[in-house]
Structures are given as structure tokens and as C-alpha cells.
Structure 1
């Protein structure tokens, strides 16, 4: 039996490549969305190619290390019990092309591929949206967004934590009456990168997770306090839920409607879980973060009136249709109810 090998990405970088550029290269080679590549890269060391022969392993290693990604070749017997997850299928045509070309042609192709992927002025067509890095998840989410020269990023008021000195900020009103009525901040800050690329570090107010979605002429509805930031191609506005839905849900009378083409970031209290809805699904109103357009929803009670008053569950949101729902693992109202019993009480004596 011929010896086979696993290729393990160590997470270390070769040369002067930036970490964000290395993640972009990794995404291109393994045909992954940029956010998924980011998650995989930060789980390194991990196996990215399993059970290949020695020649193929060497070729893949050359491609990865030429792109600035350090990797190791290990016999299958050594690593099989330690790491069994393969990230994805590497672009086999790239490996075959390397085999057919001379060493000089191989160098030129890899150089060209690396420049196309890592140059922020010429992003690959397979990439969508702005480059960014997440940190502190799921407890205290923090996102750093790379804004290309001349581009603009919209950020919830008071959420900016850090920024480069070339970033220019303007404050504009957003949401109007809807935000004012619900007590939310009616302003949004716009950060524009002047002359060169700049970074903005964003820290939401609530302790919890952050989620990124790229909208391709799509719409997502968010609870009124969930919006964090978006790129310039996304329009954000308040949407009236209706008096019955808003009042009886125990949440805001307004939702945030984010629609267009670009990046959207939103946050939660607790961790965020994404759920695919194909028919009907029930979520407690206090745990909803957002949902996609196309889902219908109704506010209803759980069980009969006895359950409604004594179960502690109250009202729920019943979704129907096909789409996605994002929920948070904690409810601020439930936390307040739990903490209430531990508050210090001043003696009347």
C-alpha cells in the first residue's frame, strides 16, 4: 500500500504577508467565503488536504508556502487520530497546472495569483464585500473593518472603538421617528477612508456575539437594537411592525430593515445561532435577533391561558415560510428578572 499524507495548515505566516491577506489567499485556494475562511484559519493547526500521495502533497505545499501560508506534510498514520476534519476541496486544476508548467512558469503563476488575491485595490472576483477580522466571540464581539480608499462605512453611534487617523467621520440622522419613539439612538456615524485604506474597530454596547452577512440585493430585518454597521451599499431604515405585533410582542414597535448590496454586521445579547426555517418555527420574542425577507410571522401565546400566565414563557413569534432566523442565546428581559432578586434592598427601619 502506497504511503499517503495529510497536509496541515499551521496558522503561521511566511514572509511579510499580512494576516488578512493570508486569509484571503486561503479563501481563494479552497473556494471558501471570506468569513468561513477566517473562521477556519483561526482554528489552525488543522488538516486542509487528506490522504494524498507524496508528489501531490509537495505540489500543494509549494503553492501554499509560495502564498505565505506555512504548512506541514505528515504521514496519515501520524495525524489521522489527531485531526480528521478536512476544510474543503482545493482547486485541483491549480495543482495540475503547476505540474504541467516549468519551474519558471510556476513561479510567475503563483506570483500573479498572490498579487491578485492580496492587493486591496484589485480584489478577486470570487470575494465579496470588505475585509474584516472578528475577535472576542461569542462573549464580547469586536470587529475590525478595512475600508478601501474613498469608501464609506456606516456605524451605529458610539460603537466605534478605534480607527486610523485617515478616517473621516460624519454624523447623520437615521431611522427618524421610529428610532426616537423606541428610545434608540437616531444617529449613525459615517467613516470615510481618505487617500488610503483605513481601519475602523467596532465594539457594540451589549455583551455578546457579532454576526456578518453579505447581502446581494437582499433584505434582513433586525430587532431595533441589533444593528452595528454596514457598507455604503446597504440602506438601513425603521419599519413599523404594526401596533398589535409590536405592543404584544413585548419588543419594539419598529424593526430595522437592512437592504441592498454589501456588508452588514449585527450583534446580540449572548451568542448568535443561525436557524434555517423551511416551514413553521417558533421563537420566544426576547430571543429574536433578525430574520430574512420572505418569512411571515405572528405573535401568539404558548399553549392555553394557564400556560401563558404561569409557565414563564409568555408570547412567542411563530414564523412561516422559507428563510433564516438568527436568535440570541440570552434574553435581556430574562436576565433582568433573574437579577432582580439579588438587588440590595434598603431597610425601612
Structure 2
């Protein structure tokens, strides 16, 4: 921050805020002298300028707020990270300590430090393939020092983070996985052909172990506490905790399944959390279909 001082029509500087404070303390600058912060248009007395800038420095940053477009962790976490551009186009930046590795969904890396080394490994097998997801997860290792990686999921939407303690268990819709620490185990759990009637099968990844886990949505994300029974359309399920029992079923029988526009639902029972997405790609595709360009042939 650079400050220009004006006294009797003459400009001096620019100076740093610390230099201005020292000049005020020593009498080199007067409280009635005018000051201007670089990039600002207004001139204000140095006494007022110094006070305002000091108060701004003392205000704690707003972190961990889901209403902010930048999220930094306040709870337990293994890696330093921030999530920017929430909730529309979330972008994850993770600091990876020296000689440690981060697992990232294939094709999600946007930027990385020059000392980051990537390896590709096959994960998930047939279930992820049938779910329309990548069979591969990339591993990024920081060699010779800490490194930074920027991660941009393919789906536009929100992103969230949980820290697994070792006893926790999180199920993710397969398309929701973004990244995780190396001690987080990501296993596939395919729900079979239950969803093929409506195109809304529930393909799940079971995440266990210890460490950070990031996942994203299409649209905004809502975390819902469940105590008892709760029903969510399968296309809106993003994640849920392992303490919940679940089953996939149709709404209103086969007639409703084919004619009502509603597909399959996931019925949860017990105590835990469910994360849902406010939109889903197939509904958006159906909404845009009438507006498609038509051939003149």
C-alpha cells in the first residue's frame, strides 16, 4: 500500500503506511496534511487516513463462510487450501507439503508449481466406467519442497470439503469426487441396473480413511442433517454419511416413473448428513432442448 502526502499544494512520496505513521510520530508530517492511497481518488487528512487503515488491519478476515465467494478452512484439515468463485464456478487451490502427494480427479488440474510431478493410476474399474466417469485418478507429488496445485472440476457449481478422521465414511455420487489426501481410500460401489429405466442410476464412491476430501456439484450445494427418514431424487444426491441406511426406489410406481418426469429416489433412514445439488445436468439438457437450432434441410 502506497500513500502520497500533500502539503500546501506539494506532493511527497509515495510512502508505506508504516513510514507515514513514523512521520506523524516524529512531526515530519502533520495530522492535517492530506493523504491519498494509491488507486483511490479521494484525499483525506493523515490523522483520519491512518486511523481508518489501522482499523481495517485489525478486522479479522471472514473465513469459512459459505456465503463468501472464497472459502478457507476453519475446522480440522490436513492441507492448507482455499475454494474460490463459490458457488457457481468453484476453484480449489491446495498447498501440498514437500514429498507429499495429492490424489486428483483426471483432467481437473488447471495449474501447478513446477516442482509438482504427476502420475496416473487406474481407479474405480467397471463401476466408474458404467457411470460415465473417468477410470483414472492422477497423483501429484511435491518434490524438493512444498508445491501448489489449482483444481478446476469439469462441472460448473459448488464445492465442499470434509476431513475424515479414520472412523468416518462418506459416500459420493461418482461424478462428485474432486481430490483427496493419500490416506483417503476411494472405492467404487455400484448400485446395479436399478437406475437404467430413468437414466438416473446411483453410482457411488465409498470414501474412508484419514485426511482431506473435496467434492463438487452441478449447481449450488446444500448440506441437510437427517434424523429419521428423508427422500432425495437420485439425480440430486451428491454425498451422504455412512451412518445412513439407503435404498433406491421409484416414485409412484412404473407409470409415474415413465410419465411424470420424476425418476428414482434415494430413501435415507437414520442419523447423518446428506449433501444435495440444486440442479442436475439432465434436467438442464431437457430444458434447453426446445431451443436447439433446427436444420433447414
TM-score normalized by the length of structure 2: 0.72
Equivalent residue number for residue 183 of structure 2? 233
Superposition RMSD on alpha carbons, in Å? 2.5
Q: Which moved more, 1:297-306 or 1:224-233?
A: 297-306
Residues 152 and 232 in structure 1, CA contact (< 8 A), matched pair in contact too:
yes
Residue 296 of structure 1, CA deviation? 1.5
Partners of 2:201 and 2:252 in 1: CA distance? 24
Q: More helix by proportion, 1 or 2?
A: 1
- Aligned partners of 2:162 and 2:172: how far apart in 1? 12
- Deviations along 1:285-324, one digit per CA (max 9) or x if unpaired, are 1111111112112222334666545443232211111111
Match 1:222 to one of 165, 172, 178: 172
Is residue 264 of structure 1 aligned with residue 213 of structure 2? yes
In structure 2, distance between residues paired with 1:183 and 1:239: 14
Q: How much does 1:195 deviate? A: 1.6
**Greater fraction strand:** 2
Where do 5+ consecutive residues of structure 1 fail to align? 1-13, 16-64, 74-84, 88-125
Paired position in structure 2 for 1:160: 109
Q: 1:242 to 1:140 in 2, by over 3 A?
A: same
Match in the other structure for 1:6? none
Q: In structure 1, what is the equivalent of residue 9 of structure 2?
A: none
Residues 1:185 and 1:304: Cα distance change in structure 2 (over 3 Å): closer
Give the Cα–Cα distance (whole angstroms) in 2 for the partners of residues 304 and 146 of structure 1.
49
Tell whether 2:222 aligns with 1:273. Answer: yes
Asked whether the 8 Å contact 1:223–1:252 carries over to 2, the reply is no
Deviation at 1:182, TM superposition (A): 2.9
1:70 to 51, 57, 75: 57
Name the counterpart of 1:26: none
The whole-number CA distance in structure 2 between the counterparts of 1:317 and 1:72 is 45
CA distance in 2, matches of 1:242, 1:304: 19
**Matched residue, 1:176:** 125
Q: Hey, what's the Cα distance between the residues in 1 that align with 2:185 and 2:162?
A: 14
TM-score (norm 1): 0.61
| 1:315-340, Cα deviation, whole Å (9 max, x unpaired) | 22111111111000101111011011
| Structure 1 residue 267: Cα displacement | 0.7
- Secondary structure, aligned partner of 2:240: strand
- Structure showing greater radius of gyration is 2
**Quick one: distance in 2 between partners of 1:72 and 1:252?**
48
Contact (CA 8 Å) 1:250, 1:285: kept in 2 or not? no
- Which of 75, 89, 100 is the matching residue for 1:151? 100
Distance across 1 between alignment mates of 2:217 and 2:114: 29
Pairing of 1:187-206 with structure 2 (within 5 A): 187-206=136-155
Secondary structure of the corresponding residue to residue 161 of structure 1: strand
Aligned 8 A contact 1:249 1:316 in 2: no
2:162 paired residue number: 213
Q: Distance in 2 between matches of 1:309 and 1:341?
A: 20
- What stretches of structure 2 of length at least 5 have no aligned partner? 1-16, 19-53, 65-74
Check whether the contact 2:99–2:145 (CA below 8 A) recurs between aligned residues: yes
Q: CA deviation at 1:237?
A: 1.7
